[in-house]
Structure 1
C-alpha cells in the first residue's frame, strides 16, 4: 500500500505539523508498537486530556475544531458527542468504533489499524474520557485478520502500561476496550445494524428515534464513530483548534486532513493524507500519476462504490463534502476510483448492483426487491436483451430507492452510481436494448426473485 505526502514525488516528508494521522508511520510498513509510539509523542494527548481538561472541555474542543465523521456521512463529531446524556446517574455508557470497512474501493481504516493501532486506542481513550463511557468495542471487519491481531496486541500493551483498565493514569477513570470481529456484512457499517450485530442479533438497522446516544447497545447510551474519525482526536487535543483548522485548503468547509486515495488503472494507485480542499485533479495527476500508458480516463468516483460517477472535467472540484456536492455527488470515503475507456458502464453497474443487492439486509421492500430488479434489468441490457422502457424503469428505481425512501442509506448509496451512469453514458445502456423489443411501460416489467 502506497503512502506519500503533501508534495508530489515524496519531496516533502511527513511531519507532525502537517500529517497528524500518518507522520508516525514507519518507512518499512511495519506496525508502530507502544515503545516506539510513545517515543513519537504517543499518549501525550491522552495525558493532557486526563490531567488538564474537564470532560466537557474535550467535547467542546472537538466541536470547535470542526471534526466531522470520516466514514462517509460526514456528521459533525462534536455535535454527535453532545447528544450523549448529561445525567451523571447514567453510569453505563458505551463507545463503539465502526471498523467494519466493507465499502468497495475503500481501505483507509485498514492501514491505520494495521500500522498505527495505538493511535486508534489513544483516540478512543480520549473520547471515552470525554463521553464518560466505561467500555469500548472496536467492531472490526472479519476479513481484517492482520488488523485484529495488531489491535489485540496493542490493547494488551496499553493495559500493561496502565493506559487501559482501572484507574487510568491515576485519574480514577476506568475504561475497558475489546476487539470484536464481525461476521462479514456490509450493512454493519450502518451504526444501528452494527449495534444489533454486536448484541448477537440479526444485522438490521433500527428505527430512529431513539438514536444510539439515548438507546444504544444493550439499551444504554452509545456513541459510534469511525476509525479515521477517532484517530484525529489526539492531534486536536495535543495541538489545538486553530492549528487543526489551518491544515485545510482555502475554500474548504471541512477542517483538517483526510486519507484520500485513487485506484483503477492509474500509474501510482495508493493512499495519501491530504488537506481537505485539494482538487480531484491534484489527487489524480500529482499523486496517482494519471492513467497508465494506453488508457484514457472515462469517469471516476470520488469516494467509494456508493458515490456517483463524475467526468474528467469534474476533476477540478475541491475534495471536501461541499466541493464534491457542487458537481453532483458525495465525498464519501474520499478514496476515488478511475474508470478507463475500455470499461463498459453497463457491465460495471451490473457488477456493483449485484454486490449491493447481495448485501441488503432485506428489512425494507424498496431495497429488498428493487436492487435485485435493477440487477435483472442490467443483466438483460448487458446481454443485448433489454426491452424498450428498461432504462426508464431503472431511472424509476433510482427515484424509488433514493434518500428518505428506505429505512437506512444502503439503497440510496446503491442507486446513486446507477443514476449517474445513465445520465452520462445513456448511449451504452441504449445499445443493449434489443431492436425488436416491444415497448413496456416503465416499472411494469415483473421481477422474478432469484432469476
Structure 2
C-alpha cells in the first residue's frame, strides 16, 4: 500500500513539536553536526572531503527543479580556493503550485540551519545567505529567530563548537520576482542588481558566482537532506527511493483533488495515479468528475493529458502508472521540477487554465531575452 515516508518531516508534522532550538535538540537536533565535526582525517582525505564524498555517494539530487547531482555540483568548487567560497540557500519558492519548502522553514527551521552549517563546513564556507521569497515575512522572522538561537548556542559565529571554523548566515528577503528562483538571477539580486540571469558559460556559480567568487546554490529541501546523509550514511540514504532517484521527495499536491496538501514520499516508489487517487494522498477527484490533465512538476513543466500513454523502452505505460521520480518523467517529455503536482478535472476550461499560466509568465518575464519577453506576451494574448 502506498504511503508517506517521513524523513525530513518526521518531527515537523508531529503533535507538540515546535520550531525552537530546545525542541529541536530534544529530538536529536544538531547531532549530525557534532558527528560531522568529529570525523577524523584518513590519510590524505580531510573530514570535509569525507562529507563531500558522502553526499556524492548518496546520490542526492537537487530538489529545486533540474535534479542535478548535489555532490557533483559541490565538486565543481576547487579546494583550497584563493577566493572566498559562498553558499546560498534558495528559499525563493515562487513556482506556481509549490508550497513544500515553506513547511520546513515555518515548522523546522533548525533542520535547514543544521544542513546549511554542515554544508558550509564541508565546503570551507564562512559566509552564507538564505534568500527567501519576499512574501514570506513570517518565514524570515522565524529564520532570524532560529539564527539568533543557533548563535547563542555556538552553532554559528566564531570557532563553531571548537572546530576552528567561523560561519555567519544571513537572511535576505527578495522582492517577489519569480526570476529570482533561477540561481544566477538570484545572485544578481543578492548583489543589489536587477535579477537578470547570467550567461552560462562562463558564469557558472561554482566558478563565478556571488561577487565573482565560487558559490554553491542549493534549495531548502536539498540542504535539509545533507543533515540526514551525515546522520544515517550515504549507503542507508541510497536505499531510500529507487536507483539514481534516491532519498525522499516533498510533493505539493493541489488542484481538483479531495485532499490537497504536501506529502513526503520515497522517490519513485509512488505513482502519479496513487498520489492523485489514494486515500493516503490526494484522495481522488471530486464526486462525478474525471481527470482532464496533470501538471507534474510545477507550472513550467509540460502538461500531461489524461489517458496518455508513453513508451519506456519496450514497455507502454499509462499516465497514472508513471512513477514519480526524476528520470521517468524526463523520459516521457516532462519533469518533476519543484515537486508541484497540479490536478485538473473536466470541470475546468483547459484553455483558460493555460491562459492563466501564460499571463503569469508574461508578467514575470525579466525581459532580458527577446523570445521570452515578446513570446510570453503574445502567447498570453493569443490564449
What does residue 203 of structure 2 align with? 210
Note the C-alpha offset of 1:308. Answer: 1.1
Secondary structure at the aligned position of 1:48 is classed as helix
Structure 1 contact 317–327 (Cα < 8 Å) conserved: no
Kindly indicate whether residue 51 of structure 2 is the aligned counterpart of residue 58 of structure 1: yes
What does residue 71 of structure 1 align with? 64
Structure 2 contact 2–274 (Cα < 8 Å) conserved: no
Q: TM-score, normalised by structure 1?
A: 0.78
Residues 1:324 and 1:123: Cα distance change in structure 2 (over 3 Å): same
Note the C-alpha offset of 1:88. Answer: 4.2
Note the C-alpha offset of 1:294. Answer: 2.9
What does residue 129 of structure 2 align with? 137
Separation in structure 2 between the aligned mates of residue 212 and residue 88 of structure 1, nearest angstrom: 14
What does residue 216 of structure 2 align with? 223
Kindly indicate whether residue 159 of structure 2 is the aligned counterpart of residue 172 of structure 1: no
Separation in structure 1 between the aligned mates of residue 177 and residue 234 of structure 2, nearest angstrom: 36
What does residue 347 of structure 2 align with? 342
Structure 2 contact 11–17 (Cα < 8 Å) conserved: no
Q: TM-score, normalised by structure 2?
A: 0.91
Separation in structure 2 between the aligned mates of residue 294 and residue 147 of structure 1, nearest angstrom: 39
Kindly indicate whether residue 174 of structure 2 is the aligned counterpart of residue 182 of structure 1: yes
Note the C-alpha offset of 1:32. Answer: 2.3
Structure 2 contact 99–252 (Cα < 8 Å) conserved: no
What does residue 125 of structure 1 align with? 117
Note the C-alpha offset of 1:29. Answer: 7.9
Secondary structure at the aligned position of 1:52 is classed as coil
What does residue 20 of structure 1 align with? 7
| Matched positions, count | 362
Residue 253 of structure 1, aligned match among 223, 232, 244? 244
Residues 1:138 and 1:270: Cα distance change in structure 2 (over 3 Å): same
Give CA-to-partner distance per residue, 1:364-423, whole Å, 9 cap, x none. 111111111111111xxxxxxxxxxxxxxxxxxxxxxxxxxxxxxxxxxxxxxxxxxxxx
Structure 1 contact 29–115 (Cα < 8 Å) conserved: no
Kindly indicate whether residue 303 of structure 2 is the aligned counterpart of residue 309 of structure 1: yes
Give CA-to-partner distance per residue, 1:331-351, whole Å, 9 cap, x none. 111220110101111111111
Note the C-alpha offset of 1:312. Answer: 3.2
What does residue 297 of structure 1 align with? 291
Residues 1:368 and 1:130: Cα distance change in structure 2 (over 3 Å): same
Gaps in structure 1 of 5+ consecutive residues: 1-5, 9-13, 379-451
What does residue 285 of structure 1 align with? 277
Residue 200 of structure 1, aligned match among 192, 197, 215? 192
Greater Rg by CA = 1
Note the C-alpha offset of 1:93. Answer: 1.6
Residue 263 of structure 1, aligned match among 230, 247, 254? 254
What does residue 382 of structure 1 align with? none
What does residue 264 of structure 2 align with? 273
Higher relative contact order (CA 8 A, sep 6+): 2
Note the C-alpha offset of 1:213. Answer: 1.1
Kindly indicate whether residue 19 of structure 2 is the aligned counterpart of residue 32 of structure 1: yes
Separation in structure 2 between the aligned mates of residue 197 and residue 132 of structure 1, nearest angstrom: 24
Structure 2 contact 118–226 (Cα < 8 Å) conserved: yes
Give CA-to-partner distance per residue, 1:48-91, whole Å, 9 cap, x none. 1111151111111000000010001111000010011223443x
326-335 vs 170-179, which deviates more?
326-335
What does residue 438 of structure 1 align with? none
Separation in structure 1 between the aligned mates of residue 231 and residue 54 of structure 2, nearest angstrom: 11
Note the C-alpha offset of 1:28. Answer: 4.8
Q: How does 1:371-410 map to 2 (within 5 A)?
A: 371-378=376-383
Structure 2 contact 97–252 (Cα < 8 Å) conserved: no
Separation in structure 2 between the aligned mates of residue 180 and residue 326 of structure 1, nearest angstrom: 37
Kindly indicate whether residue 103 of structure 2 is the aligned counterpart of residue 111 of structure 1: yes
Structure 1 contact 261–283 (Cα < 8 Å) conserved: no
Kindly indicate whether residue 233 of structure 2 is the aligned counterpart of residue 233 of structure 1: no
292-301 vs 24-33, which deviates more?
24-33
Separation in structure 2 between the aligned mates of residue 31 and residue 370 of structure 1, nearest angstrom: 46
Separation in structure 1 between the aligned mates of residue 104 and residue 18 of structure 2, nearest angstrom: 9
Separation in structure 1 between the aligned mates of residue 166 and residue 342 of structure 2, nearest angstrom: 43
Gaps in structure 2 of 5+ consecutive residues: 41-46, 308-318
